[in-house]
Structure 1
């Protein structure tokens, strides 16, 4: 059975984005000492079903996601939510802001992941990012416990 190992304060063991400071090229160019708030990328599995319904064949992992969830409304969680998954705990830091390279996977995909709603607000559907608060092994089918932070809650913004 496949699994991933989350390392406290670092991210996914062996992942290119693992580290205490930013790892993404554009972010390193701006400030290489900035904390890495993007150690773990989680996507709701329901997104893959939605994309399939509108003609895109996207599999878990193909958008850079490390963990695929089911039944958790990731996009509506407040900043600081703790997700206990398997042996590990991930603290949600914000929304993933996908880059235009997504269209290299399938032309037009970016417009399905970032769009505007009827009120003109930008909707980002490409999942959430988090940091590893407690390391451990995560396996397919592990339950996810959601622990909301103390009030007041702050909505997710891009990180």
Structure 2
């Protein structure tokens, strides 16, 4: 079963996000009070614990807390970067659509400086919120529309 391990928020871009108890995700906007939310295609960022574990194995940093790669949602049990653009996911009460896989890394960001490598540009994904609602740790993630 795929699930949410952590919901994370920051009020500024390019910084580590901090875990919160639950997040309110707003349709066509993203995570309430998050710096990356807005009317665009990268409203929410997701990263798998499996990707974080790859960096952990490199031994670059001892402490890889949730949010260290500026992900809004840390997941487990789903290979996010293999999902096709347009795939729809039910995450907690929300429905989100995959809009982008990976991103261009802006060099000199806090994440790269702290960790020495950033997996988000390679294996993180971005979604837009089609149906808003609450997402919290332990919520199930299900594919509701898979695109080939």
| TM-score (normalised: structure 1) | 0.71
Aligned counterparts of 2:46 and 2:68: Cα–Cα separation in 1? 12
Residue 144 of structure 2 is matched in structure 1 by 147
Residue 38 of structure 2 is matched in structure 1 by 19
Residue 115 of structure 2 is matched in structure 1 by 106
Q: In 2, are the aligned partners of 1:42 and 1:66 still within 8 Å (CA)?
A: yes
Residue 4 of structure 2 is matched in structure 1 by none
Which residues of structure 1 form unaligned runs of 5+?
Answer: 21-35, 115-123, 154-159
Moved beyond 6 Å, runs of 4+:
none
Match of 1:48 among 48, 52, 58: 52
Residue 132 of structure 1 is matched in structure 2 by 129
User: SS at the partner of 2:81?
Assistant: helix
User: SS at the partner of 2:42?
Assistant: coil
Structure showing greater Rg: 1
* Aligned-pair Cα RMSD in Å: 1.8
Residue 27 of structure 1 is matched in structure 2 by none
User: SS at the partner of 1:19?
Assistant: coil
- Comparing both chains, which one has the higher relative contact order based on Cα–Cα distances under 8 Å and sequence gaps of 6 or more? 2
1:113 Cα deviation (Å)? Answer: 5.8
Residue 86 of structure 2 is matched in structure 1 by 80
Q: How many residues align?
A: 124
Q: In 1, are the aligned partners of 2:48 and 2:80 still within 8 Å (CA)?
A: yes
- Higher normalized strand content (fraction of residues): 2
